[in-house]
Amino acid sequence: MHRRSLLAATLVLLGACASAPDSAAGLPTEQEAFWSALREHCGQAFQGSLAAGNASDTAFAGKPMVMHVRQCEDDEIRIPFHVGEDRSRTWIVTRTADGLRLKHDHRHEDGSEDEVTQYGGDTRGEGTTASQEFFADEHTAALIPAAATNIWTMEVVPGERFAYALRREGTDRRFRVEFDLTTPVAAPPAPWGY
């Protein structure tokens, strides 16, 4: 009888383990906190400015910049990034089985996709509650060979700032825009193609 009880208890435990949630089904705590902080700004838009760049970033210099946390789904957040009258850029942050993914959706004024679009990459670690890094994926490396070592960073410091940054490992390529989260601004028009 003792063996049967032990076997029954073992089967119950194995059944409980089999039905326990898979760790890949949810994000690590740091990424969940980051995701929540980003979602808290859904529907809001914020003014920003260039904080770091180089000669290739003259298109951004002195132009008004607005980011708009425009669409928030359970597993996707779309953030159009407007530079002056240019509404071609949307950042898409997606929850995956392994973490978070950042993609760049680039469109022409008629809504058609740019030749250089849907590049980006995935997180490789848990990051922090305030900052996540996205490493260039294979699609990016094939589309833009020079960007194969790109690492994009998004930061959310609630009640303070949102930042989007790029660094290209092995080079001096750096880009960073910062947005003031203390004062929402009027939502801009829809990005091109939406």
The 10s digit of each residue's pLDDT in 147-183 is 999 999 999 999 999 999 999 998 888 999 999 999 9
Are 48 and 178 contacting, i.e. CB atoms less than 8 angstroms apart? yes
* Whole-number Cα distances in Å, 38 to 21, 33, 159: 25, 9, 11
pLDDT per position as a tens digit, 42-75: 999 999 998 888 877 877 888 899 999 999 999 9
Q: Does pLDDT of 19 surpass 60?
A: no
| Dist CA 80 CA 92 (whole Å) | 8
Res 6: pLDDT: 41
* β-bridge mates for residue 162, sequence order: 156, 179
**Model confidence at 37, in pLDDT bands (50, 70, 90)?**
very high
Res 172: pLDDT: 86
End-to-end CA distance of the chain: 68
Are 125 and 110 contacting, i.e. CB atoms less than 8 angstroms apart? no
Question: How would CATH label the architecture of 24-185?
Answer: Beta Barrel (2.40)
Find, among 126, 140, 131, the residue nearest to 168 by Cα: 140
